[in-house]
Amino acid sequence: MAKNSKGLFIAAAALATVCHFRKPVFVPAPARRVASVALPAAAVAAASAPAFADSIGDAAKALAKDAYPFMKEVPWNSFVPLVNPGSEPAGEWAQAVDKAIVMGASMDAALLKAGVNAHHKAIGSVSESNPVLSQADFEAVCASLGRMIASVPESQTMGVYNAFSALVSPSVPSYLMSTVQEADARKAYEALMTFKDVVKANPITPTSVSTPAALSGKLGAIDLAAAKLSSASYPLIKSVPWDSDVFTKPLPGVTANQALKAIDKALVMGASMDGKLLQDAAMAHHKALGSMDATLVTTEGDYAAVLGGLGKLIASVPQSQVMDVFNSFSKLTSPVVPNLLYSKVDPGAAQAAYGALLNFKDVVKAAQR
């Protein structure tokens, strides 16, 4: 019974975590093949062909209905889900995230954009006092996650599931089970398993995408600027303690809902990004993660490719959305944060990197749509 209870709660909690679009390191095992694996792409949604839309959409409706009582019991204003749920080092987590990145890069671009928009709508309905999304928005998010998973090979889904489940302590499920009603978690798990079967039975073939010609002609300058930024900032990258737990701590004085609203601005920006450039940037990160050394630092060449990928993505969205993201996170970040981070690196390297970043920013802005 204990083992079975562990499995059903893991699944139900994973469902809650992913379908409520935040705090990815919530739970480990069994059902994350359907739920947690959805994290890298933020979701994928309802804009798919009618042949599979009805099946997955209908199944999402049933899932939302049966799992909603469980959703309402989860303490969404807690920061417990940000705590490392295991003892594995940062490098192991980076490799698990890499599996998620590869899966995200395989997703249908149109479904990804629609799914992000479904999350954006859902976030708009939650508040500090009422942190639970509506059942209708929950249903839409579940459907988008199902379509996302349906658009990638099952082997990639299982790769993400296996990678994350291996990192989570077995003590996590029992603790999380104590925060909700077991009967509701069980019902959510059973509904999730039914939903999983429908998703598996309705695979979606992703559509290939290409970057618009109007944008393609401007991308070479960004690659050149990225190489310069990489050269100037690589000493800083090598001095950062990438294995520190400071990067997983909540911003001081910021509530979960405030952080969520800032993330929403990033989701809106992400939904506007060029689909092909998004895939390219994801694979640049994948390559860089594969070349990390013992200090979790990638090669300078792979670092330059990541910078170039990010610069092109930013160039593919309106400047107003970029500034919305910057301003939202800037308002939440206490001055103690940059001061602390600055104290952990080589000051001279940080200053050189900052100057190079401003130059890179100007090149990206010039290419921006």
What's the rounded Cα separation, in Å, for the pair 107 and 44?
Answer: 8
Question: What pLDDT is attached to residue 24?
Answer: 35
pTM of this structure: 0.84
pLDDT tens readout for residues 115-161: 999 999 999 999 999 999 999 999 999 999 999 999 999 999 999 99
Claim to verify: residue 131 and residue 225 sit in the same structural domain: no
Q: Three-class SS of residue 110?
A: helix
pLDDT tens readout for residues 323-354: 999 999 999 999 999 999 999 999 999 999 99
Mean pLDDT over residues 220-240, rounded?
97
| pLDDT interval class at 248 (50, 70, 90) | confident
**What is the domain extent for residue 157?**
2-201
Query: Is the residue at 134 inside a domain?
Result: yes
DSSP assignments along 6-32, one per residue: HHHHHHHHHHHHHHTT--STT--SGGG
What's the rounded Cα separation, in Å, for the pair 105 and 96?
Answer: 15
Q: Inform me whether the pLDDT recorded for 47 exceeds 70.
A: no
The gap from C-alpha 33 to its chain's centroid, in whole angstroms, comes to 16
Claim to verify: residue 254 and residue 143 sit in the same structural domain: no
Question: What pLDDT is attached to residue 210?
Answer: 86
Mean pLDDT over residues 12-19, rounded?
44
Question: What pLDDT is attached to residue 48?
Answer: 41
Claim to verify: residue 132 and residue 105 sit in the same structural domain: yes
Question: What pLDDT is attached to residue 69?
Answer: 98
Query: Is the residue at 76 inside a domain?
Result: yes
pLDDT tens readout for residues 70-110: 999 999 999 888 888 989 999 999 999 999 999 999 999 99
- How many CB atoms sit inside 10 A of residue 249's CB? 12
Claim to verify: residue 197 and residue 218 sit in the same structural domain: no
Claim to verify: residue 6 and residue 151 sit in the same structural domain: yes
Q: What are phi and psi of 89, to 5 degrees?
A: -70, 165
Query: Is the residue at 209 inside a domain?
Result: no
Claim to verify: residue 223 and residue 352 sit in the same structural domain: yes
Q: Inform me whether the pLDDT recorded for 16 exceeds 50.
A: no
What's the rounded Cα separation, in Å, for the pair 86 and 174?
Answer: 14
Q: Three-class SS of residue 75?
A: coil
Claim to verify: residue 62 and residue 173 sit in the same structural domain: yes
Query: Is the residue at 206 inside a domain?
Result: no
The last residue of one of the domains, among 178, 201, 224, is 201
Count of structural domains, the chain = 2
Claim to verify: residue 230 and residue 140 sit in the same structural domain: no
Residue 253, phi-psi category: left (phi > 0), alpha (psi -120 to 50), beta (remainder):
left
Q: Inform me whether the pLDDT recorded for 10 exceeds 70.
A: no
Query: Is the residue at 207 inside a domain?
Result: no
**Closest by CA position to 111, among listed 192, 170, 57:** 57
The last residue of one of the domains, among 138, 166, 201, is 201
**Closest by CA position to 110, among listed 140, 151, 160:** 151
Q: Does residue 167 or residue 12 have the better pLDDT?
A: 167
Claim to verify: residue 145 and residue 185 sit in the same structural domain: yes
In this structure, what token pair is assigned to residue 28?
């480990």
Claim to verify: residue 246 and residue 178 sit in the same structural domain: no
Question: What pLDDT is attached to residue 180?
Answer: 96
Q: Inform me whether the pLDDT recorded for 23 exceeds 70.
A: no
- The CATH number assigned to the domain holding 168 equals 1.40.10.10
Claim to verify: residue 42 and residue 112 sit in the same structural domain: yes
> Which residues make Cβ contacts (< 8 Å) with residue 326, sequence separation at least 6?
none
The last residue of one of the domains, among 201, 224, 257, is 201
Query: Is the residue at 46 inside a domain?
Result: yes
Claim to verify: residue 236 and residue 344 sit in the same structural domain: yes
Helix axes 182-201, 2-19, angle to 10 degrees: 70
Q: Three-class SS of residue 132?
A: coil
